[in-house]
């Protein structure tokens, strides 16, 4: 451990938890990295990795790990319910999607919550409106002069099962397509076709566009993605503005 390039990720996690003992900061960090209670072995490994380098003895490293372990335990009760809710079928997200989409007219300012650790080129905020079954939901604000619209993202699945990921991906697409939201003077529905995911592809995306030709939702899309990485499968829902490919050039 801590001898491979991939362990830089573990080292960074361990350093963060060791140097920031504040509960609220650690809670934001967990949400930033999308860590759930069943991923706490990653946090533990990260702490061991960091302490193994920063301390001279294994005994001292383990002693420090035990003192920080109590903080990790606090997260278990709050995130366990979210995890089981996430993997259970039957979550209807249409009402939440409609609410979030309607807030796009105000660039998501009315549902913007606490600020989270930022990425390069964008600010990240917790969304005060989430999607049933999501492990977390955030609002991105990009440092762009060309497009100042914000983006909403919810993580709907993280795990090793492609079968479960594909099920949630398809279920999410069907429910978003069946969503109608208030676009001002009329109810607006979504149009689009689903791209079937396969286990051989690392990335599959389906896009749904509001059935309008102008106004605030002209370039708005609901994008459902299924992604395969070294950590496993992820399903996420993005609600943001994006021009058609033919309009970009």
Q: Does residue 66 sit within a domain?
A: yes
**What confidence score (pLDDT) does residue 35 get?**
45
Which uninterrupted H or E stretch holds 27?
A: helix 23-33
Query: Under a CB-based contact definition with an 8 Å cutoff, are residues 96 and 134 in contact?
Result: no
- The structure's pTM equals 0.65
- Over residues 178-206, the mean pLDDT reads 93
Same domain for 217 and 127, yes or no, is yes
User: What is the average per-residue pLDDT within 19-47?
Assistant: 49
| pLDDT, position 17 | 56
Q: Which two tokens stand for residue 180?
A: 């109608």
The H-assigned helical ranges of 104-199 are: 162-177
Statement to judge: residues 78 and 111 lie in one domain: no
Confidence of residue 13 (pLDDT cuts 50, 70, 90): low
Among 37, 56, 86, give the residue marking a domain's end.
86
pLDDT at residue 185, as a whole number: 77
Nearby residues of 201 by Cβ (< 8 Å), 6 or more positions away: 228
pLDDT in tens, 72-125: 555 444 444 444 344 344 468 999 999 999 999 999 999 999 999 888 889 999
Cα 184 from chain centre: 29
80 lies in the same domain as 181: no
Residues 130 and 229 in one domain: yes
Query: Final residue of a domain: which of 62, 86, 110?
Result: 86
Same domain assignment for residues 80 and 93: no
**Residue 109 in domain:** yes
Per-residue pLDDT averaged across 175-192, rounded?
Answer: 92
Domain stop point among 86, 110, 133: 86
Which structural domain range is residue 79 located in? 7-86
Q: Are residues 82 and 187 in the same domain?
A: no
For residue 1, is it within any domain?
no
Mean pLDDT of the chain: 76
Check whether residue 24 and residue 133 sit in a common domain.
no
Do residue 124 and residue 99 come from a single domain?
yes
Structure-block tokens of residue 225: 């993605």
* Claim to verify: residue 203 and residue 155 sit in the same structural domain: yes
Residue 2 lies in a domain: no
In terms of pLDDT, which residue wins out, 179 or 78?
179
- The total number of residues shown for the chain amounts to 249
Average pLDDT over residues 34-56: 54
When pLDDT is averaged across residues 230-249 and rounded to a whole number, the result is: 78
3-state secondary structure of 15: helix
Q: Higher-confidence residue: 28 or 158? A: 158
């Amino acid at each position: 451990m801590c001898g491979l390039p991939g362990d830089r990720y573990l080292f960074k996690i361990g350093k963060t938890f060791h140097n920031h003992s504040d509960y609220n900061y650690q809670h934001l960090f967990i949400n930033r990295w999308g860590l759930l209670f069943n991923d706490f072995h990653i946090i533990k490994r990260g702490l061991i990795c960091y302490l193994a380098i920063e301390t001279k003895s294994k005994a001292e490293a383990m002693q420090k790990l035990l003192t920080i372990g109590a903080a990790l335990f606090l997260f278990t009760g709050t995130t366990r319910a979210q995890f089981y809710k996430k993997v259970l079928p039957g979550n209807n997200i249409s009402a939440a999607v409609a609410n979030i989409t309607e807030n796009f007219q105000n660039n998501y300012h009315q549902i913007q919550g606490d600020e989270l650790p930022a990425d390069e080129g964008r600010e990240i905020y917790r969304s005060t409106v989430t999607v049933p079954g999501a492990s977390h939901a955030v609002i991105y604000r990009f440092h762009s002069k060309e497009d100042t619209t914000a983006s909403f993202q919810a993580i709907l699945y993280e795990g090793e099962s492609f079968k479960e990921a594909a099920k949630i991906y398809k279920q999410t697409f069907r429910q978003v397509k069946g969503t109608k939201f208030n676009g001002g003077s009329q109810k607006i529905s979504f149009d689009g076709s689903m791209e079937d995911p396969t286990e051989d592809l690392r990335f599959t995306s389906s896009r749904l566009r509001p059935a309008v030709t102008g106004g605030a939702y002209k370039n708005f899309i609901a994008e459902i993605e299924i992604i395969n990485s070294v950590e496993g499968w992820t399903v996420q829902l993005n609600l943001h503005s994006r021009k058609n490919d033919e309009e970009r050039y």
